[in-house]
Copies of this chain bind each other. A is one copy, B any other.
Amino acid sequence: MKRTEISQLGEFGLIDRLTKNIELKNKSSEKGVGDDAAVLSFENKKTLVTTDLLLEGIHFDLIYVPLKHLGYKSAVVNFSDIYAMNGQPKQITVSLGISKRFSVEDIEIFYEGVYLACQEYGVDVIGGDTSASLTGLTISITCIGEGEEGKIVYRNGAKDTDLICVSGDLGAAFMGLQLLEREKVVYDGEKNFQPDFTGKEYLLERQLKPEARKDIVRFLSEEAIVPTSMIDISDGLSSELKHICKQSGVGCRVFEERVPIDYQTAMMAEQFNMNVTTVALNGGEDYELLFTIPLYLHEKVSKIKGVHVIGHITKADYGLLLETRDGGEIELKAQGWDSIKE
């Protein structure tokens, strides 16, 4: 494959090359790349802003993460935060710090992933910054979205007796990561290593190409449901439940048997000799939506495909509890992946 050094193009040349095909799709994107700032127009809408910093060696390992997938995932994890506010992502800025290891073609492949995600989710790339880096790849993405007055959902509105709902299934992305890490160790240094991932495709997909739950936000809107609280599951169910309970001043009761787990996740956890519930509660990177709704909406919410009621909100005094399969009760602890604490 052709390798063009970034120094051959310079910063402005690189930006031109990466952004030359952008066509702004959203009405709110008035002016994108190419000036001191982008210009957006949110008439009668609220503006939502979220940002994520992803660093090589901390958040991703390029030994097993393809650059295109990395671009896709970097964008999608930000969209997920906007959906978690019951909003619609509309714009992103993409900033990259790039070491000499990377060629122009590498960065183009990364952007292919970003643009693919933007196409799937109807988002415009409106700006960014590009810089040399001494070591590794640094990715900083800010996502801007819109929300409707009165329909934005925070973490602090959960009320006693509300039902706790979660989309999709949990723990698969974490098991995908374990699998990739294991293969990396086993095949360390060997060229052309081709591990056999047959029967584990779902786990890899969840880790390498996660999706944000645009569909759930649409279903909620179609069913005229505005959750009382919502958050996306990036650090694990326990950690996110803790955020909701703390900010809402409530407790919760989750039923172990109701926590949705895919067959591949369960199989893999067993192979790794891990407790599958622990994996599902603390795994992280699921990017599913966790939300609460008033009890009377039970029937409506059960119509939404892929949403599971896993428990209910309680008074704060009860704490955060997990009712185990055998009828016991244990405290829910957030052992979530904490990118700083070690």
Residues of B within 8 A of A67 (CB): none
User: When the two chains form their complex, are residues B133 and A55 in contact, meaning their CB atoms are under 8 A apart?
Assistant: yes
Residues of B within 8 A of A131 (CB): 53-55, 58-59, 339-340
User: When the two chains form their complex, are residues B53 and A339 in contact, meaning their CB atoms are under 8 A apart?
Assistant: no
The residue of chain B having its C-beta at the shortest distance from the C-beta of A52 within the complex is B129
Binds B, one of A85-93, A177-185, A251-259, A295-303: A85-93
User: When the two chains form their complex, are residues A82 and B37 in contact, meaning their CB atoms are under 8 A apart?
Assistant: yes
The residue of chain B having its C-beta at the shortest distance from the C-beta of A341 within the complex is B10
Residues of B within 8 A of A12 (CB): 338
Binary contact readout A11-22 vs B (1 if CB under 8 angstroms, 0 otherwise): 110100000000
A103 at the interface (CB under 8 A from B): no
| Known contacts A42-B42, A147-B39; A132/B339 CB under 8 A | yes
**Size category of the binding interface on chain A:** 35 or more
A165 at the interface (CB under 8 A from B): no
Residues of B within 8 A of A58 (CB): 97, 131-134
A4 at the interface (CB under 8 A from B): no
Binary contact readout A318-341 vs B (1 if CB under 8 angstroms, 0 otherwise): 000000000000000000001111
A38 at the interface (CB under 8 A from B): yes
**The residue from B37, B54, B143, B340 contacting A10, defined by CB atoms under 8 A apart:** B340
The residue of chain B having its C-beta at the shortest distance from the C-beta of A140 within the complex is B140
A264 at the interface (CB under 8 A from B): no
Residues of B within 8 A of A249 (CB): none
User: When the two chains form their complex, are residues B39 and A85 in contact, meaning their CB atoms are under 8 A apart?
Assistant: yes
For residue A89, give the distance in angstroms from its CB to the closest CB of chain B.
9
Q: How many copies does the complex hold?
A: 2
For residue A196, give the distance in angstroms from its CB to the closest CB of chain B.
31
Residues of B within 8 A of A82 (CB): 36-37
A342 at the interface (CB under 8 A from B): yes
Binds B, one of A43-51, A108-116, A168-176, A215-223: A43-51
The residue of chain B having its C-beta at the shortest distance from the C-beta of A143 within the complex is B37
User: When the two chains form their complex, are residues B97 and A138 in contact, meaning their CB atoms are under 8 A apart?
Assistant: yes
| Known contacts A10-B338, A57-B134, A340-B130; A49/B97 CB under 8 A | no
A-B pairs, 6 with minimum CB distance: A10-B341, A140-B140, A37-B50, A36-B84, A40-B47, A53-B95
Q: Please name 17 pairs of A and B residues whose Cβ atoms are closer than 8 Å in the assembled complex, sorted by A.
A: A7-B342, A11-B338, A31-B154, A36-B85, A37-B50, A39-B147, A41-B46, A42-B47, A43-B44, A49-B93, A49-B142, A51-B128, A52-B129, A53-B138, A56-B134, A97-B138, A135-B135
Residues of A within 8 A of B (CB): 6-7, 9-12, 14, 30-31, 34-44, 46-59, 81-82, 84-85, 87, 91, 93, 95-98, 126-136, 138, 140, 142-145, 147, 152, 154-156, 230-232, 247, 338-342
